[in-house]
Structure 1
Amino acid sequence: MLLLLGLPLMFLELALGQYAALGPSVVFDRLCPLFHGMGYGMISVSGIVSLYYTVIIAWCILYLFTSFTSELPWEKCHPEWASEHCYSFKEADLCHQVPGQVYYKQVCYNATVSLERNLSLLAQNVTRHPPAQDFFERGVLDQSNGIENIGVPQWKITLCLLCAWLMTFGALSRGVKSTGKVVYFTALFPYVVLVILFFRGVTLPGAADGIIYYLTPRFDKLGEAKVWSDAAAQIFFALSPAWGGLITLSSYNQFHNNCFKDSLIVGIGNICTSIFAGFVIFSIIGYLAHDLQMPIDKVVDQGAGLAFIVYPDVVTRLPISPLWSILFFVMMITLGMGSEFALLETMMTAVQDTFPQLRAKKTYVVAVVCLIGFLGGLSVTCNGGMYILQLMDNYVSSWSVFLMAGLESVTIGWIYGGDRFISDIEMMIGVRGNAFHNFFKLFWKFLSPMTLAFVFVFNLIQYKPLEFGDYIYPMWSNGIGWILSLVPIIFISTIAITKILKGPKEMSIMERVRFLLKPSQSWGPAHKVPTFDISEPDDGIISNPNFSSTVIPNFDSRDPKV
């Protein structure tokens, strides 16, 4: 998926944003006015994801505050939130120090009672939950039994959500350059913690079993649509094509920045980090499976279990566990804030590009967007918030993103023209060979759209209502999910129809469509590069004779005469 979708689409968007120095809300209006709505579709995805993504950061902040104690609260089964299946290894070890005693349902029984009630056998067959699981589901979320029971906002999570949005406001209100400096820390610090966790994880009993499970291929899974969907969704979540963030951030690049090298570094760095993180994760999951006496694939449910159940449980086994917990959740917060900055900057740039008069009032714009984000995220802080989060995450960040990425690839590869776009890229990074041309034309015109179409259709054929653990979502909630996934498509189709209807009256409908598929007169490089009236080869189905991009030898953007 990295080769078929990740790298080609990431490079496409980095080059597009850098070339035009515009965010997605404007760049598509100039590149292909008919698909102006594609930019707003991307922005809508970033906006919806930011609502629940910030709540996850709020959970991390709550855990961080809770970690400043001599004993982590999830080390033992506390009566206020523990279920009957809660099993504390720390309490069990203390109980088993006396021969014959049995730890059963949070109570330590002496040998006499144990023999009378046959508790030894019962204790071996009982379902076990680590305290971290009950703490998260019952102590933090106070999770309801379904999306039907939304409940009320949890005050602790709400305060942490406010804290997360205040941090976002503080970083973004100072501008992109200041945000970039913060990202140096948010991007690098997690690697330090990841390395520490790796060396600790591989030394734990059962870690080898987890790593073997991680490295063992399961080819039978390739027949499941969800596997392909999850793989594609992971690439889109990791590299962010079709979310608008890449176009937004690259629009601030220097015109001659080597965006091709950037895409290679980020793409390869991402896959290497993911592989390394897999060793860290599965060494710890193997350890938990060993301790809980459970199959590895049953240790963690889907969703947020890894970050808020597995790791919190593991740090309780480490010396000075509060310190490890603090390090881990600081890492999680920095990772989350780095992603949140990109999501919010996408919306900030969209507002400023659409309403240039607001550029001088960025602080107020950031404040309004953050306030709307805070209010919009309150529903996810409720008792049923986890079900809302899973619903939005499943529908918004997969179906609609796949469609937009496919349309974007077709727009560049077929409508605007792959050769023309590569000529635009060469204006920025220099002339490249035929292999470069053929490689990206092949992916933008054929392989990437075909892969996205395959994943989309495969998922559609094998579609089934959303599930979360043992809970099956009611049909009405799946309907809401489909509506959310169609929001970007509604933007694209509504704006396209509006532009066609408002086109020149003397043109027929098809003539208006062809006219709107051409780049607008304002389309061109961010730097005013002189062009010549020459005929260039172009493979696009629409040709615009009013614009041709030409590579100018020895062109220097810093030259004041240009």
Structure 2
Amino acid sequence: MLYLEMLMGQYSNEGPTTLFAHYVPAFQGLGWAMALICFTVAIYYCVVVAWCFLYFFAIISGETVVWSRCDNVWNDVYCIETEAMKKCKQRDPSKPIAFNGSCIASAIEGLKTPYDQYFTNVMTKRSSGIEHYGGINWSTLLALAIIWIFVGLILLKGYVYLGKAAYVFSVAPFAIVFVVFWRAITLDGAIFGVYYYFGTPDFYTLLHHETWTEALMQVCFNLNVGYGGIIVVASYNRRKNNCYKDAWVVVIATFVMNIFGGVVVFASLGYISKQLNKPINGIVSSGLSIAFVAYLEAMQAMPYSSVWSMFFFAMLFLLGFGSVMVSAETICTCIYDEWPSTRSFKWVIAFFCSAIHLFFGIIMTTESGFYWFTLLDEFSGSTSLCLIVSMEAFMLMHIFGHVHVYEIINEIFGERSGSILSMLGPHSRLWEICWKFFIPAMGLMHVLFTVIRKDPKVEDYMRREDFPLWALAVGRCLRLLPLLPVLVFFIVNVIRWRRKKMSLKTLFFQPVQTPRDSRSDQKDISSNKSGESGRLPP
């Protein structure tokens, strides 16, 4: 799907809304569904970026000493320090657990490190439930506002500046993770974490549909498939650009980054496991805890711990900020392409996009914000995303037609050669089989698995707390919301076609015509995006 989205975006020089409107008008809403998913995901994902931003500046200001102790006002008796654990081990190996000023033999449920309590009680200021809003965490709100202001400024400057920023936000994290990797694997106990990561596969989990559901969602998120961002970015390529090679580069780079990042994280977990005398699977309760708790504690044991921690959160911030920028650019592109006259008011669109994201993100800066974050993370873009990807593949291969898709491939890459290597090249029929059968089937299976999936729970400080029924109802509405534009635009276009007395066949297929100019060939790519030169003839 990554290759297919790059191919269609590069050939048409358009964003997802006008791309689908020109090729298959009946599915014009598919592009707006992608934009809506980008909108909802960016709202809560930017909060994670804000937390990284706050951690980064806390490290610079020397706050690492504070969150490594248990004598702060936000700590309680369940807080345990690493140094106290070491003293207990030295004093009596049979009682290695430090609790409330004494040494005990076995761990008590609810024991947390000061890093965990800092994230829970200071960074998120978590209330007792989603219905208890409490006050606003002003530091998080300020960080969120600063991030969206910078996003608005980059959007205002256009895609040229976004492309330049992408060099930093894409390359720098790779350099950082490779540097941190070599330090993480030298930690005491790191080998246990790495072995847990690679050497203890649990094949029984492959029988659980939740495993495949989460894997599919993670692949779509990592590669940005189904969000419309790939189509937007590829629309700036020259028409003869080798997008097939680009797709492989993205996949391989993402794979390598995930492997190295996983080793860094699990090496850190192995260190903590040895220090706390607890199994790795009992250390943290969620993915956020790994990033904001486990890794931070592991880095504290390193020489120059502040430097390593600063690198880590800088990497997370750069990766997150880059994703938020692409999401915001996708939304703006959909607006510009649908209503070209809005390009004259680009500053209004850019800052309105940032402001509306900030407005809806305010609720996640309250004391109940973590619960809202979990709700959106669980429901936004899950079922709808995979269904949209399935519809996209089905529409392009079965309605628009695989013959026309391969005509586009031949125009970009030339005719297929007769060599054996061509079986794995851009013309390979393997991709056709995946696009026509596997991807639609996997998307529909994901929808089925999601329907029978258990209701989510919030990873709370000392317990797992169910969402109230009204919150689950809101979540289910969010799950289906992105699909609404597909139905709305289908009905609207049917009415338009009937009023114009046009054949409904043209609603499902438009003649393929080569776009006249590539966006990258325009003199001012940042100010003259699409317009008439980047559009397909009606």
TM-score > 0.5 by shorter chain? yes
Tell me by how many angstroms 1:386 deviates.
1.3
Tell me by how many angstroms 1:95 deviates.
8.2
- 2:475 is the alignment partner of 1:481: yes
Deviations 1:480-500 (A, max 9, x none): 111112112111011112222
Identify which of 455, 462, 466 aligns with 1:465. Answer: 455
Residues 425 and 289 (structure 1), Cα distance of their counterparts in 2 relative to 1, 3 Å cut: same
Q: Aligned equivalents of 1:345 and 1:213: distance in 2? A: 39
Identify the range of structure 1 (15-24 vs 151-160) with the bigger mean alpha-carbon deviation: 151-160
Residues 163 and 506 (structure 1), Cα distance of their counterparts in 2 relative to 1, 3 Å cut: closer
Residues 37 and 204 (structure 1), Cα distance of their counterparts in 2 relative to 1, 3 Å cut: same
- Matching of residues 266-281 of structure 1 within 5 Å: 266-281=250-265
- 2:136 is the alignment partner of 1:147: no
Amino acid at match of 2:251: G
- Matching of residues 357-376 of structure 1 within 5 Å: 357-376=341-360
Instruction: Mark the structure with the bigger radius of gyration.
Output: 1
Identify which of 56, 63, 78 aligns with 2:71. Answer: 78
Residues 102 and 417 (structure 1), Cα distance of their counterparts in 2 relative to 1, 3 Å cut: closer
- 2:178 is the alignment partner of 1:195: yes
Contact 2:176 2:315 in 1 (8 A): yes
Identify which of 38, 57, 60 aligns with 1:68. Answer: 60
Q: RMSD across aligned C-alpha pairs, in angstroms?
A: 2.4
Q: Which residue of 1 aligns with 2:299?
A: 315
Deviations 1:268-320 (A, max 9, x none): 22112212222111111111111111111111112411111112212211222
Identify which of 188, 209, 230 aligns with 1:205. Answer: 188
Q: Which residue of 2 aligns with 1:340?
A: 324
SS in structure 2 at match of 1:471: strand
Tell me by how many angstroms 1:526 deviates.
2.5
Q: Aligned equivalents of 1:507 and 1:363: distance in 2? A: 39
- 2:234 is the alignment partner of 1:250: yes
Tell me by how many angstroms 1:21 deviates.
0.5
SS in structure 2 at match of 1:304: helix
TM-score by length of 2: 0.89
Structure 1: give runs of 5+ residues left out of the alignment. 1-8, 108-118, 530-556, 558-562
Q: Aligned equivalents of 1:98 and 1:488: distance in 2? A: 59
Contact 2:9 2:234 in 1 (8 A): yes
Contact 2:153 2:350 in 1 (8 A): no
Structure 2: give runs of 5+ residues left out of the alignment. 519-532, 534-538
Q: Which residue of 2 aligns with 1:525?
A: 514
- Matching of residues 375-390 of structure 1 within 5 Å: 375-390=359-374
Contact 2:7 2:243 in 1 (8 A): yes
Tell me by how many angstroms 1:460 deviates.
2.3
Tell me by how many angstroms 1:219 deviates.
1.1
Tell me by how many angstroms 1:38 deviates.
0.3
Q: Aligned equivalents of 2:34 and 2:356: distance in 1? A: 18
Identify which of 133, 140, 152 aligns with 2:116. Answer: 133
Identify the range of structure 1 (227-236 vs 286-295) with the bigger mean alpha-carbon deviation: 286-295
Q: Aligned equivalents of 1:99 and 1:305: distance in 2? A: 30
Deviations 1:312-332 (A, max 9, x none): 212211222222222211111
Q: Aligned equivalents of 1:444 and 1:123: distance in 2? A: 54
Deviations 1:382-419 (A, max 9, x none): 11111111111111121100100000000011001112
Q: Aligned equivalents of 1:506 and 1:398: distance in 2? A: 37
Identify which of 203, 221, 226 aligns with 1:219. Answer: 203
Q: Which residue of 1 aligns with 2:26?
A: 34
Tell me by how many angstroms 1:171 deviates.
2.3
Q: Which residue of 2 aligns with 1:241?
A: 225
Amino acid at match of 1:465: D
Q: Aligned equivalents of 1:125 and 1:483: distance in 2? A: 39
SS in structure 2 at match of 1:132: helix
Deviations 1:193-215 (A, max 9, x none): 21222111211122111111111
Amino acid at match of 1:389: F
SS in structure 1 at match of 2:104: helix
Q: Aligned equivalents of 2:441 and 2:62: distance in 1? A: 55
Deviations 1:18-52 (A, max 9, x none): 11101012111111000110000000000111111
Q: Which residue of 2 aligns with 1:492?
A: 486
Contact 2:381 2:482 in 1 (8 A): no
- Matching of residues 447-458 of structure 1 within 5 Å: 447-458=438-449
Contact 1:88 1:106 in 2 (8 A): no
Residues 102 and 39 (structure 1), Cα distance of their counterparts in 2 relative to 1, 3 Å cut: closer
Q: Aligned equivalents of 1:223 and 1:104: distance in 2? A: 39
Residues 76 and 91 (structure 1), Cα distance of their counterparts in 2 relative to 1, 3 Å cut: farther
Q: Aligned equivalents of 2:499 and 2:179: distance in 1? A: 67
Tell me by how many angstroms 1:136 deviates.
0.3
Contact 1:211 1:279 in 2 (8 A): yes
SS in structure 2 at match of 1:256: coil
Residues 124 and 234 (structure 1), Cα distance of their counterparts in 2 relative to 1, 3 Å cut: closer
Q: Aligned equivalents of 2:108 and 2:289: distance in 1? A: 23
Identify the range of structure 1 (452-461 vs 49-58) with the bigger mean alpha-carbon deviation: 452-461
Deviations 1:336-366 (A, max 9, x none): 1111111011011111112211213322221
Q: Aligned equivalents of 2:319 and 2:517: distance in 1? A: 38
Q: Which residue of 1 aligns with 2:277?
A: 293
Q: Which residue of 2 aligns with 1:415?
A: 399
Tell me by how many angstroms 1:187 deviates.
1.0
Identify the range of structure 1 (184-193 vs 398-407) with the bigger mean alpha-carbon deviation: 184-193
Residues 356 and 126 (structure 1), Cα distance of their counterparts in 2 relative to 1, 3 Å cut: closer
Count residues in correspondence.
505
Q: Aligned equivalents of 1:276 and 1:518: distance in 2? A: 45
Q: Which residue of 1 aligns with 2:522?
A: none
Contact 2:402 2:432 in 1 (8 A): yes
Q: Which residue of 1 aligns with 2:536?
A: none
SS in structure 2 at match of 1:120: strand
Tell me by how many angstroms 1:179 deviates.
1.3
Amino acid at match of 1:59: W
Q: Which runs of 4+ in 1 moved over 6 A?
A: 94-103
Tell me by how many angstroms 1:79 deviates.
2.7
Q: Aligned equivalents of 2:250 and 2:416: distance in 1? A: 21
Identify which of 186, 201, 207 aligns with 2:169. Answer: 186
- 2:432 is the alignment partner of 1:441: yes
Identify the range of structure 1 (93-102 vs 18-27) with the bigger mean alpha-carbon deviation: 93-102
Q: Aligned equivalents of 2:342 and 2:446: distance in 1? A: 40
Q: Aligned equivalents of 2:443 and 2:106: distance in 1? A: 50
Q: Aligned equivalents of 1:124 and 1:451: distance in 2? A: 43
Q: Which residue of 2 aligns with 1:398?
A: 382
Residues 142 and 528 (structure 1), Cα distance of their counterparts in 2 relative to 1, 3 Å cut: closer
> Sequence identity, in percent?
28
Q: Which residue of 2 aligns with 1:515?
A: 506
Amino acid at match of 2:46: T
TM-score by length of 1: 0.85
Amino acid at match of 1:90: E
Q: Aligned equivalents of 2:105 and 2:125: distance in 1? A: 28
